[in-house]
Structure 1
């Protein structure tokens, strides 16, 4: 079972346990990852300060809105608030630990707030396709506890359901981006999270990190 309890998110023992589970299973869920103070600050920003807009599918020129596939609203981090800076610093420490222990060559981390209101969903999808993306690991930090709806269903390569995860404040889900299809089931209660990706540098023809 790839579920572990956290200690302190900056503790080397904690990172080692997290990475061991990712290495063994390809995914891990941590019921306690963010401190209550940081979680509260991020949730407040997502609820009241961030200008969230309807999310699309695809990247670059292929980006488009499709309400039949996803209905959440998002806002990419710009690193301007102290809460965002603290979160990005935490993820940078995790990136360093992953590179040091697993030699993944992770180049950077990108993330955005996500809001699901009643009836919103995101159909089953992969965050990366083999050989066609620079996304390596997906992260989902849940900012509020949801009583009804909005669960994330995680599947394996054979499309068998592995786990249905109910969002709880301060928790983190991490999994291999090109390995695990997943979906967000229709929300009943408002659901706030941070979706993120650790990426490799896709240098093609001398162009640094091209969009794909």
Structure 2
């Protein structure tokens, strides 16, 4: 029997505390929104976030880090969890020197350099790719950037997600999977790029991406 479950940590204690307001609740009201989708079970890296900040994020953007993981029983979850996504804020003073807290602070400091405040959201359940689409549709971003763990679902996401899609490849470079521009008469034009035939130079779509978000 197929189950479908999303776990959305929205309460304030699941974000870094006052007075810094380092992470904010994922309620989006801005025109420009970038979502970075990451595997919540693997070692956290700022690599896709850094690319987004360098190439598609502007100071008025909202940036959401979306951690995705399967639904696990409690013993397995406690054994395999990534504390960057799951540690409770009331436990933060006890783990402040842990690697996960240092990573969180690195994300905050990185985003501050670009004038944006990061949001953090986690979803758990099955099937994962439907959860991802559901969350992206709810957040209504301008750009979605996937880490390399999601490449197996590239075609599915291209069909189901209506916005610009970028995806990290195995070499740590970015492929533009789908792009959407507005024509002069404000009609949406979707254009899909197939980049599988040749390796993609690093940051090869950076200028194109900057033009698309202007």
TM-score by length of 2: 0.28
Higher strand content, 1 or 2: 1
TM-score by length of 1: 0.29
Structure number with bigger Rg: 2
